[in-house]
Structure 1
Amino acid sequence: MPSSKRAAAIIVAGGRGLRAGAGSPKQYRTLGGQSVLARAMAPFCTHPGISAVQPVRHADDATLFAEATRGLTFRPAVSGGATRQQSVRAGLEALAADAPDVVLIHDAARAFITQDVISRAIDTALTTGAAIPVIAVNDTVKRVGDTGLVEDTPNRAVLRIAQTPQAFAFDTILEAHRRAAREGRDDFTDDSALAEWAGLTVATFQGDAANMKLTTPEDFSREEIRLAAALGDVRTGTGYDVHAFGDGDHLWLCGVKVPFHRGFLAHSDGDVGLHALVDAILGALADGDIGSHFPPSDPKWKGAASDQFLIYAVDLVKQRGGRIAHLEVTLICEAPKVGPLRETMRTRIAEITGLPVSRIAVKATTSERLGFTGRQEGIAATAAATIRLPWADADDLSGSN
Structure 2
Amino acid sequence: MSVAALIVAAGRGSRAGEGVPKQYRWLGGKPVLALTLEPFLRHPRIGKALVVIHPDDLDLYRESIASLPEGLTGDLLPVAYGGETRQDSVRGGLEALASHAPSRVLIHDAARPFVTEALIERACETAGECEAAVPGIAVTDTIKVIGPRGEVMSTPERASLRAVQTPQAFDFASLLMAHRKAAAASLGTFTDDGALAEWAGLTVHVFQGDPHNVKLTHASDFPEAERRLRGFLMTYVTRLGTGFDVHAFGDGDHVWLGGIRVPHDRGVVAHSDGDVILHALTDALLGALADGDIGTHFPPSDPQWRGASSDRFLAHAVALVRERGGLVDHLDATLLCEKPRLGPYREAMRRRIADIAGLRLDQVSLKATTTEKLGFTGRSEGIAAQAAATIRLPEGTP
What does residue 46 of structure 1 align with? 42
Q: Distance in 1 between matches of 2:210 and 2:48?
A: 23
Unaligned runs of 5+ in 1: 236-324, 326-390, 396-401
Q: Give the letter for the 1:35 counterpart.
A: P
Mapping of residues 102-141 of structure 1, within 5 Å: 102-141=104-143
User: Secondary structure in 2 aligned to 1:61?
Assistant: helix
Q: Is the 8 A contact 2:3 2:106 kept in 1?
A: yes
Q: Distance in 2 between matches of 1:118 and 1:131?
A: 12
**How big is each residue's C-alpha offset from its partner over 1:37-57, in whole Å with a ceiling of 9 and x where there is no partner?**
111111111110000001100
What does residue 31 of structure 1 align with? 27
Question: Is 1:214 equivalent to 2:210 in the alignment?
Answer: no
**How big is each residue's C-alpha offset from its partner over 1:212-246, in whole Å with a ceiling of 9 and x where there is no partner?**
111011111211122335566578xxxxxxxxxxx
Q: Distance in 2 between matches of 1:221 and 1:141?
A: 28
Residues 229 and 8 (structure 1), Cα distance of their counterparts in 2 relative to 1, 3 Å cut: closer
**How big is each residue's C-alpha offset from its partner over 1:61-120, in whole Å with a ceiling of 9 and x where there is no partner?**
000010012134111111111100010011111111121110000000111001111111
What does residue 84 of structure 1 align with? 86
User: Secondary structure in 2 aligned to 1:52?
Assistant: strand
Q: C-alpha displacement at 1:33, in angstroms?
A: 1.4
What does residue 12 of structure 2 align with? 16
Unaligned runs of 5+ in 2: 238-324, 326-391
Structure having the higher Rg: 2
What does residue 355 of structure 1 align with? none
What does residue 367 of structure 1 align with? none
Q: Give the letter for the 2:58 counterpart.
A: A
Question: Is 1:228 equivalent to 2:221 in the alignment?
Answer: no
| Alpha-carbon RMSD | 2.1
What does residue 57 of structure 2 align with? 61
Q: Distance in 1 between matches of 2:97 and 2:213?
A: 25
What does residue 2 of structure 2 align with? 6
**Count of aligned positions:** 237
User: Secondary structure in 2 aligned to 1:134?
Assistant: strand
Q: Distance in 2 between matches of 1:55 and 1:232?
A: 27
Q: Distance in 2 between matches of 1:228 and 1:126?
A: 34
Q: Distance in 2 between matches of 1:78 and 1:222?
A: 31
Q: Distance in 1 between matches of 2:48 and 2:186?
A: 30
Q: Distance in 1 between matches of 2:127 and 2:182?
A: 21
Mapping of residues 237-256 of structure 1, within 5 Å: none
Q: Distance in 2 between matches of 1:83 and 1:147?
A: 29
Q: Is the 8 A contact 2:236 2:394 kept in 1?
A: no
What does residue 365 of structure 1 align with? none
Bigger mean CA offset, 186-195 vs 226-235:
226-235
Residues 142 and 92 (structure 1), Cα distance of their counterparts in 2 relative to 1, 3 Å cut: same
Q: Distance in 1 between matches of 2:57 and 2:45?
A: 29
Q: Give the letter for the 2:133 counterpart.
A: A
Q: Distance in 1 between matches of 2:45 and 2:211?
A: 23
Residues 69 and 166 (structure 1), Cα distance of their counterparts in 2 relative to 1, 3 Å cut: same
Q: Is the 8 A contact 2:13 2:22 kept in 1?
A: yes
Q: C-alpha displacement at 1:154, in angstroms?
A: 1.4
Q: Is the 8 A contact 2:104 2:172 kept in 1?
A: yes
What does residue 379 of structure 2 align with? none
- What TM-score do the two structures reach when normalised by structure 2? 0.57
Bigger mean CA offset, 51-60 vs 114-123:
114-123
User: Secondary structure in 2 aligned to 1:227?
Assistant: helix
User: Secondary structure in 2 aligned to 1:11?
Assistant: strand
Q: Give the letter for the 2:10 counterpart.
A: G
**How big is each residue's C-alpha offset from its partner over 1:180-206, in whole Å with a ceiling of 9 and x where there is no partner?**
111111111100111000000011110
User: Secondary structure in 2 aligned to 1:128?
Assistant: coil
What does residue 292 of structure 1 align with? none
Moved over 3 A (4+): 228-235, 391-395
Q: Is the 8 A contact 2:80 2:92 kept in 1?
A: yes
Q: Distance in 1 between matches of 2:61 and 2:232?
A: 27
Residues 233 and 52 (structure 1), Cα distance of their counterparts in 2 relative to 1, 3 Å cut: closer
**How big is each residue's C-alpha offset from its partner over 1:284-314, in whole Å with a ceiling of 9 and x where there is no partner?**
xxxxxxxxxxxxxxxxxxxxxxxxxxxxxxx
Residues 392 and 117 (structure 1), Cα distance of their counterparts in 2 relative to 1, 3 Å cut: farther
Q: Distance in 1 between matches of 2:236 and 2:109?
A: 32
Q: Distance in 2 between matches of 1:49 and 1:228?
A: 28
Question: Is 1:150 equivalent to 2:168 in the alignment?
Answer: no
Residues 230 and 162 (structure 1), Cα distance of their counterparts in 2 relative to 1, 3 Å cut: closer
Q: C-alpha displacement at 1:392, in angstroms?
A: 11
Q: Is the 8 A contact 2:25 2:32 kept in 1?
A: yes
Q: C-alpha displacement at 1:393, in angstroms?
A: 9.2
Q: Give the letter for the 1:57 counterpart.
A: I
User: Secondary structure in 2 aligned to 1:217?
Assistant: coil
Residues 207 and 23 (structure 1), Cα distance of their counterparts in 2 relative to 1, 3 Å cut: same
Q: Distance in 2 between matches of 1:190 and 1:69?
A: 26
